[in-house]
Structure 1
């Protein structure tokens, strides 16, 4: 079946809307199953090197952004405890500090 993925008069075709809704549902299911505390990005995706494009697209990007949001919500004390228990490996120096310094 051919997809009708052409937006006409600002309306998204039903098949495209359904595909997007399915992707959003899957993404939300994945997020609901994150452990608490979250695994640091290098532990969750150990094969993606720091500063790789893998952190800026695909599942690495999604996890990276979700981790960032989760970490920012922790109190300073919780952040410090997490950092002690999950030290930054080689190549990741300053990762936690960069998150703490973002608005």
Structure 2
């Protein structure tokens, strides 16, 4: 039922093109609460991801979240303000 509800809400499930990987896949060596996300290559990635995510429609954001589910360490990240 959950899958049906999601598909009713977003329509056709099309994989996103040129998506920016979430932080836990892009740089798994950096812990979620590390300063590395506020400096250097981690910061650059978060800025790029924020710009990418801002241009997505609500349906595309849902597809992104389903395509890249949060790891255990990153649970709740999609609900956080990551910028």
Higher relative contact order (CA 8 A, sep 6+): 2
**Which residue of structure 1 lines up, in the alignment, with residue 75 of structure 2?**
93
**Which residue of structure 1 lines up, in the alignment, with residue 59 of structure 2?**
77
Gaps of 5+ in 1: 1-34
Query: What is the rounded CA distance, in whole Å, between the counterparts of 1:98 and 1:50 in structure 2?
Result: 12
Q: TM-score, normalised to structure 1's length?
A: 0.59
Gaps of 5+ in 2: 1-16
> Which of 1 and 2 has greater Rg?
1
Q: How does 1:55-74 map to 2 (within 5 A)?
A: 55-74=37-56
RMSD: 1.9
Q: How does 1:32-71 map to 2 (within 5 A)?
A: 36-71=18-53
Count residues in correspondence: 67
Q: TM-score, normalised to structure 2's length?
A: 0.71
Query: What is the rounded CA distance, in whole Å, between the counterparts of 1:74 and 1:50 in structure 2?
Result: 23
SS of 1:38 mapped into structure 2: coil
